[in-house]
Amino acid sequence: MTTPDLTHDYSPWSFYGRATDAEQKLQLEHQQLLLEQHPGWTLGEQVFLSPLAAIQCEKLIMGKRCYVAAHAYLSHEVTMGEFCTVNAFTVVRGKITMGDAVRIGAHTSILGFNHTMTDPDTWVFRQPTTAQGITIGTDVWIGSHVVIVDGVTVGDRAMIAAGAVVTKDVPAGAVVGGNPARVIKWRVPALAQAPKDELGGALTAFVARAKEQAPAVLEHYWQADGPDLTGTPGRGCYVDPQAGRYNVRAQCDAIEIAALLTGSTPPPWTADEAIAALAGLQDPATGLVPDLDADGKPLPPPSDLLAGGSYEILCVGYALDLLGARLPHPITAVTGLSTDRLGELLDGLNWAGNPWGSGHMIDAIGTALLWDSERPAATGLTDSLIGWMVRNADPATGMWGRPETAGLLQLVNGFYRASRGTFAQFGLPVPYPERVIDTVLRHVRDRTLFAPERQNACNVLDVAHPLWLATRQTDYRHDEVAAVGRTLLGDAIGHWVDDQGFGFLASRPENTGLPKAVPGLQGTEMWLAIIWLLADLSGMSDALGYRPRGVHRPEPALRFGRVPRETA
């Protein structure tokens, strides 16, 4: 009598590497028979189902290279991504949804239903059942002899120790164990969650400190003997050490900081003085705003948007908006374009190699259309711009450009700029919000950029805002998004330097002497907005007592198709 070889039934992951042609043929015939018997099943490439497993599913979806070992018991509705393994003697029953790379140890029970016991006079087995289902994220390791009960969500990249009884949701990146299971450490330290009350207390303390020191911060950057925005010496201006020169942005950042922390115009200006100075910069012919030269005098106005003035359209326009005013002239450099010319310009941007620069240009175009929203030409151009963005969004990433050619940093930062000036600014839903969340969460794992000492305002803003924007549309991966928000928020409030604000690069001991870590107006304005976005992702924005109202405002500046424009 020959003993059957059951190696692959108990170690199914080795099947396609070691099985003979005859064994593989038998497995495929077994699968074909099961598919004929069960129309609700879908089996991916190179899956393995042991003939010794009991599979009684009405619906079974298995992605490629998923395996079910001997004596496993599956029933009801089971969905697996790719590279999932259900080991021997494991029970998976109910509506169970797994991401990719979920590996389940032997003798584990994942039970997506439960008996009720509301009637003490009726045997439990005769009472109705309830079923919420169980959701397991991607890259999750579940040890042997684990029990997961109905209604639980296991976050991405979590690990569940052998013998654990899981009765509550497992945070993304956590290692849990015990009965009932609790977090014992973090597989992904960047996702570690500080207690909400502890972080909330630190947040409240931070904002009190920032508001108390706001006058000193603004005074620190006021140069009394500097030139005003006409270039007249001795009239005074704001100077940002980060820029290393006179520039328009510093004046606008000061206005935004004062609006957030003091609710007033930054001294020594009155609102009328600031409005006159900023509005006077705009070129009546093109509507564009030049920057300043080395002496603080306005440069010659750019001939078109590609020649310069793109960020000034944002910062001057929003600074005037905060002061209750508007740019005095139409921005004909944009609203004078034909829809064909706009399409040519968008197509000609270097999305493959420089999504950030391309998104920067989209941001400026969209904002110019915002300021000219009452002009008839702006409506058609805005339609064309939004239409182009929707048509060209990548369904795989939710973004514009390709990660394989530009890298995730460029891709995500470009998405922020492009979406800020279009979908966020006009109150429109982004295409593929779940893919945006996937892409940003993959990017934020990069410790070379997001370790506390490596963080800069641009990179953190450019993950905070896309996550915030996408989560207005979906609760997808909610717990992981909130965990990222809490982690980055805890880091951000620690970057503040007394009486000076924030550096562009995190102002931490490791960065002492680095020019970008020197506090300045740009870093302070950006980090204040970032902190609000992260706090809102974490459910704690009410503790701040302020809300961005300028370039980084969370509300749309214009509900698409509605005039007049809403003003914060």
User: Could you give the residue numbers annotated as active site?
Assistant: 115
Say if residues 527 and 552 touch (Cβ distance below 8 Å).
no
Which strands, in side-by-side order, build the sheet including 159-160? 48-49, 67-68, 85-86, 102-104, 140-142, 159-160, 174-177, 182-186
Classify burial at 533, counting beta carbons within 10 Å of its beta carbon; exposed 0-12, middle 13-18, buried 19 or more: buried
**48: CB partners within 8 A, 6+ apart:** 8, 12, 15, 16, 27, 66, 67, 68
Q: Ramachandran region of residue 73, left (φ > 0), alpha (ψ -120 to 50) or beta?
A: beta
What count of Cα atoms within 13 Å lies in the side-chain half-sphere of residue 153? 11
Q: Please give the Cα distance from 300 to 229 (Å, whole number).
A: 13
Q: Which two tokens stand for residue 561?
A: 């198709």
Contact criterion met (CB below 8 Å) for 304 and 333? yes
HSE (side-chain half, CA atoms, 13 Å) at 60: 25
- Bridge partners (DSSP) of residue 115 are 129
Listed in order, strand segments (DSSP E) in 321-407 are: none
> Apex CA 315: angle with CA 416 and CA 331, to 5°?
100
In the chain, the amino acid numbered 191 is: L
The residue with tokens 């009472």 is: 127
Q: Say how far apart CA 221 and CA 214 lie, in whole Å.
A: 11
CB–CB of 396/411 below 8 Å? no
Peptide bond into 433 cis (omega under 30): no
